[in-house]
Amino acid sequence: MKGEERTYRVLSARKGLTGFRVMVKETDLHVQAERDLSAEVRELVLLHRGHLEAYIAQNPVFLTTLSPWALHGPAAPVVRLMAEAGRMAGVGPMAAVAGAVAELVGEGLAPLSREVIVENGGDVYARTAGPFTAAVHAGKSPLSGRVGVRVDGEGGALGICTSSATVGPSMSFGRADAALIVARSAALADAAASALGNRVKDAASLAPALEFVRSISGVLAALAIIGDKMAAWGEIEIVPIRTAK
């Protein structure tokens, strides 16, 4: 898994930006910005992790529920972002945790870097001045690492997140090798990727699964892979990925 992780990080490198890694407990970020902002990223991660951990200590079901979470009273930005993303996608709030942390770190770096890419376990927040390409990793599928999605960053920040039943630690009730979402919010992209992956059981379920995520406000595009079958919808260009042998 670690080798695969390094592969997609290399593929997502953007010319002109400095890449650096920040690890805090289970959070493992790879960031690209106009200069090394490791200290600032670490402070942002500690801030948002601290808020999330405090909320979970008071509301332990938040950590385990697979249903949308209803907020009652004030909550920290990370909690609100996760709860809202889960509500919109019809999943539990923890389905949005990686995207939410990436998004909040990326937004927190806005005053310091005009362009920034934050990758958290394969979930990406990207604010770039032009198009951005992300490789799609889909386990043992013959399409894994051979296709990418190219999105236009001119319209503002984007989230590009992937869920999988066969790769990594993501919980899924489906069988998708990859379920990728592009959205205006990385937290929403993360939650919607889980919802998409849950609905992909076989090749016949690809079209109805995509139809479901089309109905989620803020989702711009989706792609799903199961075995050698792929389906996509929305504001993305599917491009071949060529890697060095």
CATH of the domain at 161: 3.10.520.10
Specify the long-range contacts of residues 69-77, CB closer than 8 Å, at least 24 apart.
69/93, 76/48, 76/51, 76/52, 77/48, 77/51, 77/104
Residue 121 is assigned to a structural domain of this protein: yes
Task: For residue 236, give its domain range.
Answer: 2-240
pLDDT per residue of the chain (245 residues) written in tens, 0 to 9: 333 444 344 445 677 899 999 999 999 999 999 999 999 999 999 999 999 999 999 999 999 999 999 998 899 999 999 999 999 999 999 999 999 999 999 999 999 999 999 999 889 999 998 888 888 878 788 887 788 888 887 778 999 999 887 665 555 667 888 999 999 999 999 999 999 999 999 999 999 999 999 999 999 999 999 999 999 999 889 888 875 44
Q: Is residue 175 part of a domain?
A: yes
Residue 220 within a domain:
yes
**Distance, CA of 193 to CA of 180 (rounded, Å):** 6
The one-letter amino acid code at 90 reads: G
For residue 85, CA distances in Å to 2, 17, 184 come to 28, 29, 11
Domain assignment present for residue 218? The answer is yes
pLDDT digits (tens, 9 = 90+) for 153-210: 777 899 999 988 766 555 566 788 899 999 999 999 999 999 999 999 999 999 999 9
81 Cβ neighbours under 8 A, 6+ residues apart: 96, 100, 103, 104, 185, 187
Residue 245 located in a structural domain: no
Overall number of domains in the chain: 1
User: pTM for the full model?
Assistant: 0.90
